[in-house]
Amino acid sequence: MTPEAKLKRLKDLVSEVWDLHMAAAVLSWDQETYMPPRGAAARGQQLSTISRLAHIKATDEEIGRLLDDLAPLAAQWNPDSDEARLVKVTRREYEKNTKVPADFVAEESRVTSEALMAWREAKAKADFGLFEPHLARIVALKKQYAEFFAPYDHIYDPLLDDFEPGLKTADVQRIFNALRPQQVALVQAIAQRPQPDDRFLHQPFDVQKQWDFGVEVITAFGFDWARGRQDKSAHPFTTAFSVDDVRITTRIEPDFLGTGLFGTMHECGHALYELGVAPELERTPLGHGASLAIHESQSRLWENLVGRSRAFWEHFYPRLQDTFPTQLGNVDLETFYRGINRVSPSLIRTEADEATYNLHIMLRLELEIGLLEGTIAVKDLPEVWRAKMKEYLGVAPSNDAEGVLQDIHWSMGSIGYFSTYALGNLISAQWWQKMEEDIPDLEAQIRRGEFGELLDWLRAHVHRHGAKFEPQELVQRVVGTGIDPEPYMRYLWAKYGEIYGL
C-alpha cells in the first residue's frame, strides 16, 4: 500500500469506530428524552453491544500496524496539519485503549453498576456506610487502572489524562494552589456585605414562555436549528451526532427562572463548540471538542461572561419583562442583574454561583487525589468533606446526602474530571481577555444583542480545531500562556467588587 492508501485505510477504520460511538450517542439521547420507561433494559443491552464492538474495532491490530507504518512519514509532515494530528491523536487513543485489558473493563462495568444502585440508596437514606464498600472497590480499581500506564509522575495523572489530554496533576495543583486563597478571600469579603434580593426569581413562570425565551436567546447566540434541536430532559446535556446534528436538552422549573434560562445558555455554549468543528475533521478522533475543560470554557463563557453580564441584559431584559410582566414588571434592570449574580455559599455544587463554584471543585479534587495517594481513607471521607466545606465556604452539611453523597460521579467510576469544571471557568476568562483585545467594542456589540463577531472569534480560534490540539497547547496557541487563574480572578473581583461594593 502507498502511504496515501495507508492513511485512507486508517481513516476508514477510525470512521467505523466513530460511527459506532455516534450511534451509541443517539441511543443515549433517546434514552434521556423520549424512551418509554420500560424500554430501559433492552436499551442497556443495545448500548453495551455497541460499546463492546466499538472497543474491539478501536483496538484492532491493523490500526496499530498502520500507525507504525505511518510514523516515519508523519514525522516529516507539517506537525499542525490535520493528517499529522490525526496520526498523533489516533496513536494516543489506540495506546490508551490497548493498555486496558477487556477483563478489567468488564469488571469495572460490573462494579460500577452495583455501586450506582448502592449510591442511590445511600443518598436516599443519607447513609454513607451503604456506599462505602462500593467506593472502596472503585478506588482500588482506579489504582489498578493507573498502573496500566506506569510509569507516571503522579498516580492521578492517568485518570486526569482521560479527560484532559496531556494535563498533569501537578499542573492542576499548581493552578488551584494559586486560585484557592483568592477565591476564599473573595467569598469572605462578600460575606461581610449586604445581600441583593433575588426572591423575584422564585415565582411561577409559565414553562412554555420560559422555553420560548430561551429559544430566542440561543437563536441570537447563533444556534443553527437546521443543524440542531432542543428537547427536555431531567438532567440537561449536549450531544453531537455529527457536526451537522448537535442536540441540547433543557430542564425548566415552573417556579424558578434561573434553571431553564442559564441552563439553556450553558448547553448552547457546548453546542456552538461542536457545531463549529471543521467539517473535514468529521468521523475522525479529531472531530469533537478538545477536552472537557475546553468544552466547559465554552458553556461557561456563554452562560456567565455573556449571560450574566449587565451588557447582555441591557438588550434582553426589556424582552424578558415583556414576557413576564406580572413577575418582573416592577423589577428594574439593576435589581435583576444583582439578583442573578447573588453570591451565597451553599452545600450543593450544582446550585453554586460563579464566586463559590470553584471551591466545590477544589474540595473534590483534593479528596480524589488523597484517595488515590492513600492519604485519605474512604471511611474518613464524610468527615474530611465537612471540614473542608467549613474551611472553604463556611458551611457544613448536616448529613451526607448534602455532603459527600451529593454527586453521582464517583458511583459511576468517574474519578478524574471534576477539575475540568473549574479549569473551564479559568479558561473562559482567558478567552474573554484575548477577545476584548481583538474586538474592542465587544461589550457594545453584546449590548446591541449582536453575537456574530464573538462567535466568529471562538470558531476561528477554538472551535474549528476540534481535538487537534491538547487543551494546554490550544490555550497557549490562542492566548500565549498556559492555563492561568489570574484573568478569571480579575473578572470575579471586578464584577463582584462592583456588585457588593468591595
Interface stretch with a second copy, choices 17-25, 300-308, 312-320, 444-452 (CB under 8 A)? 17-25
* Binding range to a second copy, per CB under 8 A, among 38-46, 103-111, 312-320, 407-415: 38-46
Q: Does 215 bind a second copy (CB under 8 A)?
A: no
CB atoms within 10 A of CB 243: 21
Residue 20 binding a second copy, by CB under 8 A:
yes
Question: By CB under 8 A, is residue 102 in contact with a second copy?
Answer: no
Residue selected from 1, 3, 5, 42 as contacting a second copy according to rule CB under 8 A: 42
Shortest approach of a second copy to residue 196 CB, angstroms? 40
Least distance (Å) from a second copy to the CB of residue 287?
10
C-beta closer to a second copy: residue 54 or 294: 54
Nearer to a second copy by Cβ, of 241 and 262: the residue is: 241
Q: For residues 398 and 106, what is the distance between their CA atoms, to the nearest angstrom?
A: 37
Q: Contacting a second copy (CB under 8 A), which of 9, 11, 13, 23?
A: 23
Contact flags string 256-295 toward a second copy, x per CB under 8 A: --------------------------xx------------
| Spatial CA neighbour of 271 closest among 306, 308, 211, 223 | 223
User: Rounded distance, CA 50 to CA 300, Å?
Assistant: 32
Q: How far apart are CA 280 and CA 75, in angstroms?
A: 21
Phi/psi of residue 170, each to 5°? -60, -35
Using CB under 8 A as the binding rule, whether residue 107 contacts a second copy is answered as no
Cell numbers describing residue 228: 440542531
Binding to a second copy by residue 197, rule CB under 8 A?
A: no
Which of 491, 421, 484 shows the shortest CA–CA distance to 175?
Answer: 484
Chosen residue from 121, 244, 383, 436 binding a second copy by CB under 8 A: 244
How many CB atoms are closer than 10 A to CB 77? Answer: 15
Q: How far is the CB of 11 from a second copy (least distance, A)?
A: 13
Rounded CA-CA distance 223/213 in Å is: 14
Residue with Cβ nearer a second copy (49 or 81): 49
β-bridge pairing 245-250 and 228-232: parallel
Tell me how far apart the alpha carbons of residues 396 and 60 are, in angstroms, rounded to a whole number. 50
Instruction: Measure Cα distances from 470 to 89, 426, 473, 498 in Å.
Output: 9, 16, 5, 36
Q: Binding to a second copy by residue 36, rule CB under 8 A? A: yes
Task: Indicate whether 359 belongs to the interface with a second copy (CB under 8 A).
Answer: no
Q: Which is nearer to a second copy, 245 or 450 (CB)?
A: 245
Q: In this structure, is the dihedral angle defined by the CA atoms of residues 110, 112, 117 and 118, taken in order, positive or negative?
A: positive
227 binds a second copy (CB under 8 A): yes
Single out the residue of 375, 476, 368, 385 nearest to residue 419, CA to CA: 368
Which lies closer to a second copy via its Cβ, residue 25 or residue 415? 25
Q: Is 8 in the site for a second copy (CB under 8 A)?
A: no
CA distances, 278 to each of 1, 273, 284, 472, 479 (Å)? 28, 10, 11, 20, 21
Please choose, from the candidates 15, 477, 421, 389, the residue with its C-alpha nearest in 3D space to the C-alpha of residue 187.
389
Indicate which residue of 108, 164, 267, 368 is catalytic: 267
Total of residues contacting a second copy (CB under 8 A) = 38
Under the binding rule (CB under 8 A), the answer on residue 229 touching a second copy is yes
Is 267 a known active-site residue?
Answer: yes
Asked whether position 226 contacts a second copy by CB under 8 A, the answer is yes
Residues forming contacts to a second copy in the complex (CB under 8 A) are 15-16, 19-20, 22-24, 26-27, 30, 34-39, 41-43, 45-46, 49-50, 53, 224-229, 231, 241-245, 282-283
Active site residues: 267
